[in-house]
Structure 1
Amino acid sequence: MPQRTALVVGGTSGIGLASARLLHTRGATVHVAGRSKSRLDNLAATDPDLIGHQADAGHPDELNALADAIGTIDWLVVSHSGGDGVGPVADLDLATLRRAFDAKFWGHIATIQAALPHLASDGSITLISAISARAAMPGTAGLAAINGAIEALVKPLAVELAPIRVNAVSPGLVDTPWWSGMPEEAKRDYFAQAAAALPTRRIATAEDIAEVVVLAATNANTTGTIIETDGGARLVSLS
């Protein structure tokens, strides 16, 4: 098989970085895009085999230039994250929620548009949503709306862009830097409580989710699918 080229946008930490590393172990040339220069510098030090690029999904011209520079892309992984939009709907700040949509939903759209002219005909697009889109957890209406909008892209795009494959991966609770805003002790206590309620009795790692991302990206028979990898969070109450 000829060597494949992957682009992971939002790949300097967490699920994106774990996915980039795993794609590299599968033999792909992996490009990683992120906004933070410091994170890209860290990436260059810890993962010299990954090719880092500074690009902001809020600036489509940067994404277009990046895709032009890479050339043919076989596997596109879009891993924009964002923590805004949490809280009771009565208290949600609408300006903050709009920024959250800009950062994650519109970031996904901009990335797809930039990469599309360069995607191989047998290539794939893998989006990262979250189980909040379907889990009915109080205080997550904002997050649910954003991730639900991302998941709503999958089926129509799988048909519109065929034979390019389009899928999404929907994680639940994952121990990543997404939780860095929570005090360490509070996070540890919450994770212990949540793990006890989950059918898997554990909190996922970024590497757990990356295995599913790589499956979605590389399996030639998978398209139009949202793969839930949430430890069973959608089956129980975590509130």
Structure 2
Amino acid sequence: MAQGTRKYTGLLQDKLVLIIGGTSGIGYAIAEAALENWALVTVVGSNKSKLENALSQLRGSYPLETNNGHLRGIQADLSCAKSLEETVPTILEYAADGAKINHLIITAADMTVPPPIRDITVQNIESTHTLRFLAPLILTKHLPRFMESNAENSVTLTSGAHGQKADPGWSVVAGYCGAIEGLMRGLAVEMKPIRFNVVSPGPIETQAVKDILGEHYDMAIKVAEQKALVGKVGRPENVAQAYLYFMKDQFVNGTVLESNGGFLLT
């Protein structure tokens, strides 16, 4: 069977996939997976050097798949609420490049350790609020100009297991994980027939997590391994499969897909 007529593996071929937060971790793995499915990938990152490095690595790993402009990147900071209304249309217009976006994936999140409740101020959670909640909302607001309204197209947001099994000191993150799942359900109704879904990862081994935990990283990994029924923590390429599924299954909508190794059952 010719590649262009493949019923299952060709579902993302030449589809335009925009990944917000695709320079590392889960977002980077999604970019890899989308390229392996011959999609046209645009990656958004807030850090210029990380973005350039990610694009270079992807082109080195996938020279055929990234040929002829099939991989592009744009630097943009979505953590500032005041500039969202200008930044978001710029990103979407760049990604569409005169065509239409088929799939939008948002994995970007403020990965700083949240302060304990007694130390929380409006100012020190402002970027978390903007990046985790306001940015997906404003992206959706502007999306109809750049995405056709049909069930072939999708938006996949990201929450996390903290929303259902919170750890001490992570109330802010737990709150936004729950909020993004509620937002997704509302958008699925309001933006129909475009499909909106959420991936909820459990403990995932990424460089960002390692940077956050520092000297406590090894101990945290051991604890997470003990809590996971599969006996190990997840890797970004494991969770990337969930995002692929949401893009490919045109009958799934308003759904949270958990990838946590059984973490919630312990």
- Per the normalisation by structure 2, the TM-score is 0.82
How many Å separate the matches in 2 of 1:109 and 1:44? 27
- One-letter code aligned to 2:134: W
Task: Name the structure 1 match of 2:91.
Answer: 66
Amino acid in the other structure paired with 1:109: L
1:74-114 Cα offsets, whole Å, 9 max, x none, are 01101111234635423434421233112221122222223
Q: Is the 8 A contact 1:56 1:63 kept in 2?
A: no
Deviations 1:168-190 (A, max 9, x none): 0000111112211322x421121
Q: Deviation of residue 223 (structure 1)?
A: 0.5
Deviations 1:123-176 (A, max 9, x none): 000001111111133221110111111111111211211111000000011111
Regions of 4+ moved over 4 Å: none
RMSD of Structure 2 on Structure 1 (CA): 1.8
Match of 1:19 among 25, 30, 33: 30
2:102 partner SS: strand
Partners of 2:118 and 2:77 in 1: how far apart? 31
* 1:1-239 correspondence runs (5 A): 3-48=14-59, 49=66, 50-57=71-78, 58=80, 59-60=83-84, 61-69=86-94, 70=96, 71-84=99-112, 86-120=114-148, 121=150, 122-179=152-209, 180-183=211-214, 185-236=215-266
- CA shift in 2, pair 1:135/1:101, >3 Å: same
CA contact (8 A) 2:44 2:74 kept: yes
| Count of equivalent residues | 235
- Whichever residue aligns with residue 259 of structure 2, its letter is T
Residues 109 and 20 of structure 1: is their aligned pair in 2 closer, same or farther, counting only changes over 3 Å?
Answer: same
Q: Distance in 2 between matches of 1:169 and 1:19?
A: 12
Over residues 13-57 of structure 1, what are the superposed CA-to-partner deviations in whole Å (9 max), with x where a residue is unaligned? Answer: 111111111011112101111111001110231112221111222
> Greater CA deviation, 43-52 or 201-210?
43-52
| Structure 2 spans left out of the alignment, 5+ residues | 6-12, 60-65
Percentage of pairs with the same residue: 27
| C-alpha distance in 1 between matches for 2:264 and 2:126 | 26
Query: 1:213, CA displacement in angstroms?
Result: 1.1
Normalised TM-score (structure 1) = 0.91
Q: Structure 1, residues 192-216: CA drift from partner, whole Å, max 9, x if none?
A: 1220121111110011110111111
SS at the partner of 2:42?
strand
